[in-house]
Amino acid sequence: MEKYTLLPEQLLYEGTISESVFFAPEPLPEAAILRTHTPGYWHKLKTNTLDRKEARAIGFPMRPELIARGRVIAQGTLDCARIAFREGVALNIAGGTHHSFAERGEGFCVFNDIAIAANELLHSGEISKALVVDLDVHQGNGTAKIFEHEPRVFTLSFHGEKNYPHRKTTSDLDVGFPDKTGDAEYLARLYEVLPNVLDRERPDIVFYLSGVDILATDKLGRLACTLDGCKERDRFVFQTCYDRNLPVSVSMGGGYSERLATIIEAHANTYRVAEGIFG
Ligand SMILES: [Zn+2]
């Protein structure tokens, strides 16, 4: 949890960003929650009546403050998307809760921020197509399921084949890697896949889930990428979108390296690279 305060501190300290570019989201309105999540699930969250099994699947005891926090984070991703329309890129210092389904949560994910933002923008007519580039090491099972029958949202997930979730859902395009996959193999697939998908799908916005749990040092990752490889991944995503004039809304996603400094460095790289390309 410390990364959410340390990351902005680091970015300010080193001058990658200034205080003036921060924005603070309001809690997401109920109507927007209900465009993605079922009324039954939202009712249970609101009244704190998830049963023990449902709460255990999410992984932490549900408290009203966590619901409130989730609503602010989801609105943050929606705000990022709208800022990205103007500025090219905007990044949420949280979010990427891709294990949340329409009717339930799991894996520490209550609301699905990217699904909520995409559905809201489709509903308002601000976009007609979205692309989810989910490069967190865990498969975006909730996002894939939510958009299973939605042709206006293309879901792409790169993940560890053997990693959680062990029962995977089907994204529009899944790329699974064996344990210990390193930079060369990982990046080669990215270079091959991403430009093709962008050129074929021609989205109005890209939602990039930039989890840094692909690092060799990650306790939950199982892959073997380096900090430089992870930075190059981010650079390639941003450059490929920038070259096509595509706005990018970034949700931070996972990062569980042993040393907190490694986690902060990897996430900070995402901001440094975004600033270098779009700034
Ligand atoms: Zn993850």
Distance in Å, CA 211 to ligand 1 centroid: 6
Question: Strands of 89-92's sheet, edge to edge?
Answer: 89-92, 248-251, 205-209, 130-134, 153-160, 173-177
Backbone angles phi, psi at 253, to 5 degrees: 75, -165
Segments of the chain assigned E as strands: 89-92, 130-134, 153-160, 173-177, 205-209, 248-251
Distance in Å, CA 245 to ligand 1 centroid: 28
Distance in Å, CA 137 to ligand 1 centroid: 5
Distance in Å, CA 218 to ligand 1 centroid: 10
Distance in Å, CA 254 to ligand 1 centroid: 4
Distance in Å, CA 255 to ligand 1 centroid: 7
Please report, in tens digits, the pLDDT of each residue of the chain (279 residues total).
789 999 999 999 999 999 999 999 999 999 999 999 999 999 999 999 999 999 999 998 888 899 999 999 999 999 999 999 999 999 999 999 999 999 999 999 999 999 999 999 999 999 999 999 999 999 999 999 999 999 999 999 999 999 999 999 999 999 999 999 999 999 999 999 999 999 999 999 999 999 999 999 999 999 999 999 999 999 999 999 999 999 999 999 999 999 999 999 999 999 999 999 998
Distance in Å, CA 249 to ligand 1 centroid: 18
Distance (Å, rounded) from C-alpha 30 to C-alpha 257?
35
pTM of the model: 0.98
Residues 6+ apart with CB under 8 A from 214: 135, 137, 186, 221, 223, 225, 229, 230, 233
Distance (Å, rounded) from C-alpha 278 to C-alpha 255?
24
Strands 153-160 and 205-209 turn out to be unpaired
Distance in Å, CA 225 to ligand 1 centroid: 14
